[in-house]
Amino acid sequence: MIRCDWFSIACISSILTLGALPAMAQSDDQPISHEAAKILDQDNDSLAGIFDLSRYTFRDLTFYWDNDGTVPGVVADSDRYYTNGNAIELSFNPNLTPALASRIAISDKENQRFGVGIAIKHRIYTPTSILLTNPPARDHPYAGYLALALSFQRADDHIHDHFGLDLGIIGHTSGAETLQKFIHNAFPDENTPVGWDTQLPTEPTINFTFTRTWKTDRANFGGVGGVGGIEMEMLPSLGFDVGTVLISARSSMILRVGKNLPSDFGPATMLGQKDHTVRVSQSSNSKWSIYAYTRLGVDAIARDLFLDGPVFSGSRSAQREPLVATFSFGLITRYKSFYLGWNQNIQSERFDLQPNSQSWGSIVLGCSFDW
């Protein structure tokens, strides 16, 4: 039986969706309403303008699914460590006043653009074996995480900044135990996880993240006059996380190769970010695009809630590794307003007693509402 924890999740999702409906009714190609325009001061450069929801227009709706099982993954088929992640995300154009846009622009170059994202994210973590009622004390603890993720982004043609704030909760209230048991009980061949009584205790969380991504000039191979061939570009990034969930410094490099590469700053991922500063349907001059990519990231980690345990209460913990590397490869395709992506991730050991690396697969599905 699904417990009442999921009622709270449904309420949060409903509130966010209803709050976004007025903005979703407008696209980037449509002007804001006359009533809203009358109260807008185009010379106003106050930062409060970022929170003026009457200006917002809807861009994209995106769904994410990460899992270490067979369907999205191709390497592993077991529940362990980071075992499942789900999210739904909305992207908006904040339509900042010219004065405010000029004040907070990433540079003085042309093609300045801005974006806002809001998402509900859910993750499940389990130890090496879900068949033990009392897993080893230094194994990866059972943990669930439910968060409201807010983000603001700014970009030009070659630089992109992401500012994110996650407000969440861990423990029983996250609903992770209920969800995993419900799914496993729905499939007779799946083992029932029996150690959730040892999960990390309930505690609210807060985390801030910043990432800067650069984009190289695009190379073109096989085209005529630099047009029509296979395109390639690299997207290096640096970032950090600070909060009760994660304290880390991050670096990564993405290489993508394909046809009609979009103008965004890389593929959207559950544990990473999506570029909210451009609508997917308007991210390329062509009505379709397809590209393959690889990513190599290295994180220096000073705190990981899912291994170190919560801040304000005692719990199980595992000895975290200070450096973690992740290699990913995937494919992204788009046709008009719809896009679909898949990737495979291979990650080095995150804690001392982890016997080997972990892999998981990811699927992303989304659309722009301009059709």
DSSP H or E stretch at residue 74 = none
pLDDT, residue 47, reads 85
Q: CA 29: distance to chain centroid?
A: 26
Judged against a pLDDT cut of 70, whether residue 371 lies above it is answered with no
Six-digit token pair at 27? Answer: 């696209």
What is the Cα–Cα distance from 368 to 58, expressed in whole angstroms?
Answer: 8
Residue 31: is its pLDDT beyond 70? no
Residue 185: pLDDT band (50, 70, 90) is: confident
Contacts of 331 (CB under 8 A, 6+ apart): 290, 291, 292, 293, 341, 342, 343
Helix (H, G, I), strand (E, B), or coil: what is residue 47? helix
- Convert the pLDDT of each residue in 303-326 to its tens digit: 999 999 999 888 999 999 999 999
| Token representation of residue 185 | 């009980």
Adjacent-strand bridge partners of 366:
62, 339
Nearest alpha carbon to residue 58 among 94, 84, 83, 85 = 94
Tokens 């982890």 correspond to: 354
- Amino acid 7: pLDDT: 37
Residue 108's pLDDT is what? 86
Distance in angstroms (rounded) separating the CA atoms of residues 48 and 100: 9
C-alpha dihedral (309, 315, 319, 322), degrees to nearest 10: 10
Instruction: Please determine, for residue 70, whether its predicted confidence score (pLDDT) is greater than 90.
Output: no
- Residue 10: its pLDDT value, please? 41
Q: Strand runs (DSSP E) across the chain, as ranges?
A: 57-67, 81-93, 113-126, 143-155, 159-170, 203-214, 219-221, 230-243, 246-259, 288-304, 323-335, 338-347, 358-368
Q: What is the pLDDT of residue 190?
A: 80
CA terminus-to-terminus distance, the chain: 39
For residue 21, is pLDDT > 50? Answer: no
Helix, coil or strand: residue 121: strand
DSSP state of 299: E
Residue identified by tokens 């969800």 is 179
Q: What is the pLDDT at residue 293?
A: 98
Q: Which of 111-120, 196-205, 253-262, 306-315 is predicted least confidently?
A: 306-315
Mean pLDDT of 360-365: 95
Q: Which residue has the tokens 């896009």?
A: 339
Does residue 86 have a pLDDT over 50?
yes
Predicted pLDDT of residue 48:
83
Q: What is the sign of the dihedral through the CA atoms of 13, 16, 22 and 27? A: negative
Measure Cα distances from 39 to 43, 54, 74, 97 in Å.
12, 10, 54, 12
193-249 confidence digits (pLDDT tens) = 999 999 999 999 999 999 999 999 999 987 655 556 899 999 999 999 999 999 999
**Domains of the chain, each with CATH number or no CATH:** 59-91+117-368 (2.40.128.140)
- Give me the mean pLDDT over the 345-370 stretch: 93
Q: Do residues 4 and 172 touch, judged by C-beta distance below 8 A?
A: no
pTM of the model: 0.87
Provide mean pLDDT across the span 278-304: 95
Element (DSSP H or E) covering residue 217 = none
Residue 143 has pLDDT above 50, yes or no: yes
User: What is the pLDDT at residue 226?
Assistant: 54
Burial class for 91, CB neighbours closer than 10 Å (0-12, 13-18, 19+): buried
Q: Give the Cα separation of 365 and 353 in Å (integer).
A: 35
Count CB neighbours of 346 within 10 A. 15
Find the mean pLDDT for residues 165-172: 97
